[in-house]
Every structure is written in C-alpha cells, then in structure tokens.
Amino acid sequence: MATLAQELTETVSRAFAAEGLDPAHGRVAASDRPDLAQFQVNGAMAAAKAAKSNPKAIAEKIVARLKDDPRIAKLEIAGPGFINISLTDETISKHIDKLRDDPRAGVPKRAKPQTVIIDFGGPNIAKTMHVGHLRSLIIGDALQKLFRFVGDKVISDVHFGDWGLQMGQLITEVQREQPALPYFDASFTGPYPNQSPVTMEDLEEIYPRASAATKADPARLDEARKATAELQAGRPGYRALWQHFRAVSFEGVRREFAALGVHFDWWKGESDVDKLVAPMVADLMKRGIGVESEGALVVFIAEPGDKKELPPLIVQKSDGAALYETTDLATIIDRVKTADPDLILYVVGQPQHDHFEKVFRGARKAGLNGKAVLEHAGFGTVNGPDGKPFRTRAGGTVKLFDLIAQAKDEALKRLTEAGLAQDYPAAEREEIARKTGLAAIKYADLSNQRLTNYVFDLARFTKFEGETGPYLQYAAVRIQSLLRKAEDQGFKPGPIRIEDAAERDLVLLLDRLPDAIETAIAKRAPNVLSDHAFTIAQGFSRFYAAHHILSETNEVLRGSRLAVCRLVLTQFAVVLGLLGIEIPERM
C-alpha cells in the first residue's frame, strides 16, 4: 500500500506537470519541522532554477492547484518556496485504518525481485570467531532479512576461510607435534582415521604457534608454503587431515551462529572453488587479461584517476599457489554460474576495501561477473573504552561466545535492577536474559552507522532506558501485555479515529516504515531502521502517557486506541525481527 507521502507525491507531481514542470519536483517528504506541518515539498526551488523563474511564484501556482483537495487541512508556503502540507485527521485515520490487519505493516514487496548473494560472516578454519566477526554477522544478517522481506531472492554465503597458507601452517605444525600420524606418510594408502587428531581448542592453540614460527623462521615458512601447494594439488594425507580441521572448525562456528540466531543458505568455502582456479587462470592468460609479472600471473587493474596506486591482482603466485584474491575471483565465477545474481554484496570490514576493489575490477575486466553488481559494504571496528580494537583484559581477542555469555549475565543484572521478570521461573528468566543480552549487542551495533567505529560498552547497551535493544523489547512487551489484558476483558480493537496530537504524530510515524525500509536497503544501512524503531517507541510512550486505554469507558475511543497499540506492536515485530531481535513473551 502506498504511504500518505507517496499518495501526496502523486498528486503534487501532477500539479507540477500541469504547470509544465518536471513532475519529479513534486516529491513529498515528511516535514523537517513537524511542529509546523506534517509534510513538505521542496521541489519549487529546483523547478524554478530549471525554468529560470521565481520559486515562490511556482509554489503559489502549485498551491493553487492543491487547495481544493479535500484531504488537505492546511497548505502554506514557507521561506523561499517550501510548500507545507498537513492532512485532515479523517484522511489520516482512514489511511492508517487500512493497515490494521496487515502483518507486513504496510510494506510492499518489490515489483521486480532481484537475486542477491550476501557474503558475510567469513570465519576461518582453526580460529574461533571473535568480536571482529560480530559486525559482519549482525549487519549481514539484518541485510539478508531486509532484502528478503521486500521479496528479493537472497542467498547468504558464509564463505569459510579454509584455503591458503594457513592450511599449510597448520599441517606442518601438527606434523611437528604428532609426526607418527599417517597423514604425513606419503606411502600410506589409507584409510585414514575417522577421528580428528585435534579438537577446536587444539587448533586454536596450534594456529598462533604455527603462525609465529613461520614468521620467525624462513625455513618453516617454506615448509608451510610447500605443504599448502601440496594440499592444493591434492596430496591425500593432507586432504584427509585438512578435512578434519574443516569439520572441527565448522562445528564450532555452527554453535556460534546458532547462539547469535544467524542463518546461512550456503556453507561454501574458499576451497570449493579450487577446481575453478586453474581453468580461470588459463582463460585469463589466453585472453591476455592475465600477464606474467615477476614469476606471478597478474591482472593489472589500476585505472586512470586512481587516488592511490592499487597493485595488480595476483591470480597465481610464483610457487603456483592460490591467494585470497584468487579464490575470491573464482568464487564470483561460481556464484554467477550457480545463481546468476543481480548483486553480490560483501559485508566485510573496511580494512579489506582495497582487496575487494581489486577483485571487482579484475572480475569486470575479465567479464566474470555476469549481470551482477559487485559491492563491498564495509564497516568500522568495535573498540574498547581506550578507543583501540576491543580486547580482553589480558590483551587477547574477545571470543564471540564469551561476549554473548557476558551480555546475558549483564542483562540478568539489569533485569534485577529494573525489577523485571523477578518472580518468573528461573528458566524463563534465563531465556529473557538471553534475548535481552543479544538485543543489547545487536541493537548497539546496528544503530551505529555502518562505517563508524564504536565503543563496546555492555553496561550501556543493556540499559532499559535510552536508545537500546532492551528498551525497545520492553516497549513491545508492555504493549503485548496490554493487549492480552484487553482481550481478557473482552475489549476489541476498532476503527482508528485520531483524537489528538500524540496519536496523530504516532500514526504518521508508523506510516514512514516503508520509506525507512527502502532507505535502509538502498544504503545498506540497518541503522535507518533501528532509528525508526526508536522513534516509534518514543512516539508510543507519548501516546501512552496521554491516553487511558484499558480504563477508557468510551468503547469507540478504547477500540481506536487498542487498534493503534496493535499497529505499533505489529511494527515492532516487523522491525525488531528484521534487526534480528526477539521479543520475549513477557518481562
């Protein structure tokens, strides 16, 4: 359903067209000054510029064409030619009443759905996910939900980091520690053991050791390189061992995704495109897009006008091994072949921006991307109170799992402080704390602009006042409980009839959701949606303070107010759902 702003845009655009002006100037938006008007049109200025005439005169002509519209209660020209419009309460009531039973809160689906692949998460073998993965997971998940909600076909791909030098580092380190294992015996003919020789905990310790050793000792590095190349060439023992690394790491990652409530459609990894690499390189060379440079095969991707110099994209190192950029390029081929997407969106930290720029340019230069737009949606870092990347007290990286557990503990404390959920069964209280803890982390993350850094402050995020996830959950829970009580008393929602400013303002805010969703998608900016949620919560609390609901004896008024409450709840359910935040039954 069209919003009021969209309906008005149609009318005002026609008025511009009737004056021989570009109808695009007739765009109507919510007013910047809600104290003066509900809506505004700024197009008279641009129209006047184009027509070399006076904005005020144009605004007057438009206003003359609108003045008999029965929907409009107040029409004014402000400043140099802004047109302010307010609607009659009847118009607004009738409009909003149509949303009463719409579970989508008035948000339409796209006329032309797109296929979108969203690449996020990106965990790596042998490394437990840490706070650095948090933003990718939370933002990526919100984006996949948003695109899906408007009807796009979305494929989320975790793009597991399971290839490259790290694998050789792990293999050679395990070999040093357990040389008798059959994986290292080139003459062994199998079968290899089913049981992994290492656990996730082992891997987590082995990897930093291996990484340090190869940094310190060129011979060790050489060994790791050789093992990597042999693994990639298919040496059976290495493959078998690597499969164990993969399986063990997958399990850990699954557990963490489940804890965060994040879902992936594809569990592909860098290694999945291994077989595409050699033909891709051969094809690039054949077409002259790839060239030899210092023993490596590269694609030059620098463009005139580049502000900084981008080194060439390396598709094959001099030792024949594939690099991170090689697998990313081959992954584009795989994705285009499998899903023919309109868009591939990479939700990965901003430090990898150049990496993606190189890969995208290479892909476009070689025509590997089909019809897909390739786009990097980067994000800033999560910092500690010192403004540096968030660390444990001991200086280590903070594990995602620990973070989630801490958030739950903190949420439990806050619930007690606020006197919430106190006499509930312990299991339910725990469950509520789990939900509010997650809401705290997710909302804090999503409410920041994607590219800004923010300071991780659980004490602030878990508060029940202010712009937090728990505050929004609590607002929704209160409405739920109010509606339950109404139902118990046999009170029913009825037609919405706007009575006063608090109600009018709230209803007009509710009508902005479709716009908020469109902007959030267009800018890949979930913070637009989290802002909207907070605005609604504030509008609702003003409305709630101004009106009796259950104690209202006039049935018509009570019915109307209950209907507004229900609309707000539906909108919370939609918006919080898109942000990955669950609403507890009660608190």
- The pair of structure tokens assigned to 239 is 């493959």
Side-chain-facing half-sphere of 93: CA atoms under 13 Å: 15
User: Does 348 engage in binding with ligand ARG (CB under 6 A)?
Assistant: yes
Q: Longest C-alpha distance within the chain, in Å?
A: 91
The least distance separating ligand ARG from the CB of residue 232, rounded to whole angstroms, comes to 17
The least distance separating ligand ARG from the CB of residue 167, rounded to whole angstroms, comes to 13
By rule CB under 6 A, what count of residues binds ligand ARG? 8
Question: Of the listed pieces 100-108, 119-127, 289-297, 522-530, which binds ligand ARG according to CB under 6 A?
Answer: 119-127
Selected binder of ligand ARG within 82, 184, 346, 540 (CB under 6 A): 346
CA separation, residue 11 to residues 4, 90, 150, 417 (Å)? 11, 18, 25, 52
Question: Of the listed pieces 116-124, 170-178, 306-314, 526-534, which binds ligand ARG according to CB under 6 A?
Answer: 116-124
Task: Tell me, rounded to whole angstroms, the distance of Cα 576 from its chain centroid.
Answer: 13
Distance CA 14, CA 65 (A): 9
The least distance separating ligand ARG from the CB of residue 378, rounded to whole angstroms, comes to 11
Distance CA 405, CA 438 (A): 9
Instruction: Give 420-456 as a DSSP string.
Output: -STTS-HHHHHHHHHHHHHHHHHHHHHTS-TTS-EE-
469 touches 499 (CB < 8 A) = no
The least distance separating ligand ARG from the CB of residue 457, rounded to whole angstroms, comes to 25
Selected binder of ligand ARG within 12, 41, 62, 119 (CB under 6 A): 119
The least distance separating ligand ARG from the CB of residue 513, rounded to whole angstroms, comes to 31
What single-letter amino acid sits at 519? T
What single-letter amino acid sits at 142? A
Over its C-alpha atoms, the chain yields an Rg (Å, rounded) of 29
| Secondary structure of residue 228 in the 3-state scheme | helix
Question: Of the listed pieces 42-50, 117-125, 187-195, 496-504, which binds ligand ARG according to CB under 6 A?
Answer: 117-125
Binders of ligand ARG among 189-228, rule CB under 6 A?
Answer: none
Selected binder of ligand ARG within 124, 128, 228, 473 (CB under 6 A): 124
User: Does 122 engage in binding with ligand ARG (CB under 6 A)?
Assistant: yes
Identify which of residues 324 and 424 has a Cβ nearer to ligand ARG in the complex.
324
Angle at 468 between CA 157 and CA 128, to 5 degrees: 40
Interaction mask 310-329, ligand ARG, x per CB under 6 A: ------------------x-
The least distance separating ligand ARG from the CB of residue 161, rounded to whole angstroms, comes to 3
Instruction: Give 404-430 as a DSSP string.
Output: HHHHHHHHHHHHHHTT-STTS-HHHHH
Binders of ligand ARG among 145-184, rule CB under 6 A?
Answer: 159, 161
Nearest-CB residue for ligand ARG: 122
Binding-site ranges for ligand ARG (CB under 6 A): 119, 122, 124, 159, 161, 328, 346, 348
